[in-house]
Structures are given as structure tokens and as C-alpha cells.
Amino acid sequence: MNSLVALILAVVWAIIIYRTYGRYVDRKIVQSDPDKTTPAVMYMDGVDFMPSSKNVLFGFQFKSICGLGPIVGAIIAVHWGWIPAFLYLLLGVAFLGWVHDYTSAQVSIRKEGMSLGGMSYTLISPRGRTLVSVFIYFNLMFSFGAFAVFIAGTLSNPTAPLGILIWVAMGLLFGQMIYKWKKPIITSTLITVVITFVGMLWLSRLGFVQSFFAWVNGGDPSPVLFGTITQAKFIWILFVLAFCYFGATLPIWRWAQPINYLGFWVVFVAMIGTALGILIGRPSFGDFPAYTGFLWAGKPLWPLMFVTLMCGAVSGWHSLVSSSGTARMIEKETDTLPVAGGSMLLEMVMGMIALIIAVSAFGSFEGFAAAFKKGGGFVFAKGMSNFLANFGIPEAMGLSFANIVFAVIGFTLIHLGVRFMRLYGADVLGEFWPAFKNIHFSTLVSIAIFAVFCFTGVLTSLWMLGGAFNQMLAAMALLICTCWLASEGKNYNITLWPSVFLGLTTICAAIVVAFNGFRTLFTGAEVPSDLIIGYWVTGVIAILLVVLAIFLVKDAIASMTRFVAEGAAVGAAPPTESSTPSSGGETS
């Protein structure tokens, strides 16, 4: 396989799915209506509900969903061979991913901006809200605990931190320019994007800047403080947690939306640059094996490959962004397909670029294996810099920029993750302890628990458990959407069967990973004290979440059966004035 052919196939496939299946679901099944008042318009409060241009929202949505999942996930998944990962990216996004993102947003819009917890209460069962909220809370712990460790590792490189600080400052300036100073989007974008790239490509590489951040890290190598935690890792995890605090507590227009929008341009330019490098170099996949076997290092392809390669094919995280974020900013229902569906299809292209980097940027399978020993982040950054070098970008500059891009990709998700943890924590605990209704208290509690995962988590366990529960959340979101479609008398099979597949796959994956963690503890192997805590905490919570998921599935099946039976009864009854279709195509 040639890398350029793989990239073209991914882009063409995304366009085909959008223009065929995407438009069919939007127009014929969901029946989006541009004249319906959306929650953003109805409840505009300038904090969470904020009507926004679909162009800004596309950038926000893409950078809010496209994190390290499609990148690190694809780089790890190719250990089973490039064909399984390649096929799951294409088929997963077509029949699982974009449908999940789009319907999660549309159901929330039709339910007046409800979160997944609220929708589960009304569509599944009263206890469904608690089950979903608890599940989401700890699911985010797993997923973003791994992200935080990756980001901290990237920021340990002295060329990365200043670029990140300038990007954040320009994001805040962009929000101020368009929402307070009422400046045009194009002008505001050009100014902030240009300054951001000057900071990333030039200022961050100045000698005194690198010397300062090397001093912050405590030298090279950075000294170990305790267990496996170095001074650099400790400092930059604290920085990540502080970043998350502001993302969770400030109005969405002030922090999360503009920073993520600006992050979109950083990542999009990196994607275009890498694609041009692929076009110029056109490397083949060489001796990289198409299929290495069902087992890789004792890990079975099913179910573990399907939860390792998260986000590029399907991701439950996207349902949180789509429902609790984007659905509250959509100005017209017809914007949902290009914003939610289109962003997911573009993320699949990002996953394909990461796959191409892994299998073709290092000349051979042996070259990839050597790079992978330094981590998935290094594979992505070094591979991207190799492709950027094809049109004259110096290797040092390309590597520095790629490291910053990797950190930006992680940051744009992780602060939203803590924001949603705060929302769902308040939803579950606020009724019993009113203090959790306070956004600062709820956020600080979430960050404190989050910090435990960051400082004690075993990265491989966190990543695969994060993937398992991330996609289990996708199965739950699809179940909620299935119940809504059934209640509306619409074709619910488009979400039901994807939910069944993901539910079975992710429950099995979580059990396998948790079992392997416990087995490590009881084999007598020497394990650092911080990682022992991590294995116990992640294993116990993994079992708890599997039980919660099973109860939710039970309630959802009962609810869906009731909706289908009610629909059949209505269909069998003589037509009445109240069941006549309205102009919008729905029953009144």
C-alpha cells in the first residue's frame, strides 16, 4: 500500500459517507428543521448556551473531539498489523462514529439542550441519570488520566511550553475580539493564528527560552521525586490541572471555545503540512506487516484493538461534547450535520494520517519499533517532522512544532473533560451535598480525584481502560438515541446495532484489562508503590463501571421495548387529528 493512496481513500470515503448516508439520516430519519428554535437561541445565557456561527462551531467541535485518541490509538493499533486498523477507521466512522456524534447532538437539541444524564432520565429510567452520570465521571478519569501523562511528557521538552502559553493567550484574545470587541471572525483569526505560529515556530526555540524551561524541569534527565514521578512530570501535571480548572469554571466563550477554535487551526495546518509531505514523498508501507496475528504481546485483537483505536472510528467522549457543549451553541438544526457529522469524518482522516506516520515515516517496521520504544507521542512528532522535511522544514523546527501540536491536541480535550466532570458530579451529588452545586468546589474535588489518576495511573492500563469505557459510553449514548428514535416512531436500527456491537466489545475489553492488572499484582513481580495504587484503583473502578453499564442496558431495553410497543399501538389505531403529521414531519 502507498501512503498517498491510503490518504486519498480516507478523504474520498469521508466525502462519500457525508453526502450519502449522512444526508439520508439528516433529512429522512431525523428530519432536521432550520426553522425550529434551538436551545442556544431559546436559553441564551452567555455561559453555556450561546448561538454561534457554524464555522466557529466546526473548529470548536473538531478540536474538542480530536484528541490523542486517533493518534496514539492508531500508532498502538498497528501492532496487530495495518489492515485491521485501516479497516476499522473506515468502517467504524461510517457506521458507528459519525452517526453517534450527529444523533447525540440532535437528540440533545430536540430535548432542549439536555445532557446525557438528563436524557437518560427522561428516555430510559429515573435511575438512568445516576448510572450515566457516575459512569461518565469515572470514564473521564481513565481517559484523561492517560492524556495528562502524555501531555506532561511532551511539555517536559523545553521547546514546547512557551508555544503552549502563547496559544492559550491568543485564544483568550480571540474570544475577547469577537464577543466583546465585536471584531470580524476573519480578522480575529488571522491576527491570533499568525502570532500563535510565530510563538510556536520561532520564539519557543530561542536558546534562553529553552534554558529557562530546562531549569524548570530540573535538568536533563529530570530528577525523580517519588516512585516513577520526575520533577518535570510533577510540575507539568500541575500545570495541566490548573489549565483544566480555568476550562471548567470560566464561561465557555471566554476560555474553552476560543482556545479550542484556535487549536483547530494549529492542528489543521499540521494536518495539511503532513499531507503535503506525504504527497511529495509518497512512501510505501514497505515491510510493515499487514497482519501480525490475533495476539500482540498477549493482547487479543478483539476486543482490545477496537478500544485501543478509539476516537478515529468512534468515541463516547464525542457524545459529551455534542450534547453538553455543541448542542447548546447550534444556531440552526441544519448546522448539526456539517458541525457534528463533518467533524467526526475529519477526525477519521486525522487517525489515518497517524496510521500513515506509524507505518511509513520510519522506513521499515524495525524503524517504527525503535521509535515506539520512546513512546507514541515521539512516533507522532518524529514522523510528522520527517514528512514536513519533505518540503524544506528543518528537522529541529519540525520536531519542535510537532511536539507542540501533540500537546495542543491533548489540551483541547482535557479541560472540557474536567468541565463535564464538574457538571456530572454536581448532577449526582448536588442533591445530597449542596456544596457540589458550587462550580469551584465541584471543580476542585474533580481535579483532586483526577490528580490521583495522573500520579498513580499505569499508562497502558489507563489507555486501554480509557478506550474501553470511552467506547462503552458511546454504546450508552447510542442506546439513549435509540430510545429517542423509537419514541418518535423513527428508524432506530441506525443506532441500535452499533450500540450492541460496542456494548459487547467494550465490556469484554474492560474485563480483560482489569484482569491483567490484578494478575500483575498477584504474580509477585516488583511494582513501584505508586503503580500498585494505580492497579488497585483502576481495577476496582473498572469492575464497578461494568456493573453500572449492565444495569443501564437492562433499563434501556425495557424502555425501548415500551416505546416500540406504544408506537405499534398508535399505528394500529384509526388516525385522529392529534396524530396527523405536522409541517415539520413529526407527530404533534
Q: Beta partners for 229?
A: 226
Q: Which of 405, 489, 494 is nearest to 204 (CA)?
A: 405
Burial code (b: 16+ CB inside 10 Å, e: under 16) for 255-264 equals: bbbbbbbbbb
pLDDT band of 579, cuts 50, 70, 90: very low
Query: Which pLDDT tens digit goes with each residue over 409-435?
Result: 888 888 888 888 888 777 777 778 888
Q: Give the model's pLDDT for residue 190.
A: 96
Polymer length in residues for the chain: 588
Burial of 454 (0-12, 13-18, 19+ CB in 10 A): buried
Concatenate the DSSP letters of all residues of 90-156 into one string. HHHIIIIIHHHHHHHHHHHHHTTT--HHHHHHHHT-HHHHHHHHHHHHHHHHHHHHHHHHHHHHHHT
Q: Where are the domains of the chain?
A: 3-567
Topology adopted by domain 3-567: Hydantoin permease (1.10.4160)
d(CA 512, CA 518): 10
pLDDT in tens, 99-150: 999 999 999 999 998 888 888 888 988 888 888 887 787 777 766 766 787 7
Per-residue pLDDT, 557? 87
Q: Which three cell numbers stand for residue 5?
A: 493512496
**Structural element, H or E, at residue 224:** strand 224-226
The angle formed by the CA atoms of residues 160, 162 and 163, to the nearest 5 degrees, is: 65
Residue 299 vs residue 356, higher pLDDT: 356
Rounded CA gap, 313 and 345, in Å? 9
Kindly tell me if the per-residue pLDDT of 581 is higher than 80.
Answer: no
CA distance 215 to 235: 12
Q: Which residue has the higher pLDDT, 206 or 575?
A: 206
Task: Return the exposure string of 313-337: e unless at least 16 CB atoms fall within 10 Å of the residue's CB, then b.
Answer: bbbbbbbbbbbbbbbbbbbbbbbbb
Per cent of the chain over pLDDT 70 is: 92
Backbone angles phi, psi at 160, to 5 degrees: -95, -40
What does the pLDDT read at residue 525?
67
Instruction: Compute the chain's Rg from CA coordinates.
Output: 23
- For residue 583, pLDDT over 80 is answered with no
Average of per-residue pLDDT across 15-34: 96
The tens digit of pLDDT for each residue in 344-390 reads 999 999 999 999 999 999 989 999 999 998 888 889 999 999 999 99
Q: How many CB atoms lie within 10 A of CB 97?
A: 28
Supply the pLDDT for residue 534.
65
CB atoms under 10 Å from CB of 35, counted, come to 9
DSSP reduced 3-state for 218: coil
Q: pLDDT by residue (tens digit) across 163-174? A: 999 999 999 999
Q: What is the mean pLDDT of the chain?
A: 86
- CA end-to-end span of the chain, whole Å? 53
Lowest-confidence range among 389-403, 406-420, 518-532, 552-566?
A: 518-532
Global pTM value: 0.83
Q: Which residues contact 369 (CB under 8 A, 6 or more apart)?
A: none
Q: Greater confidence, 162 or 60?
A: 162
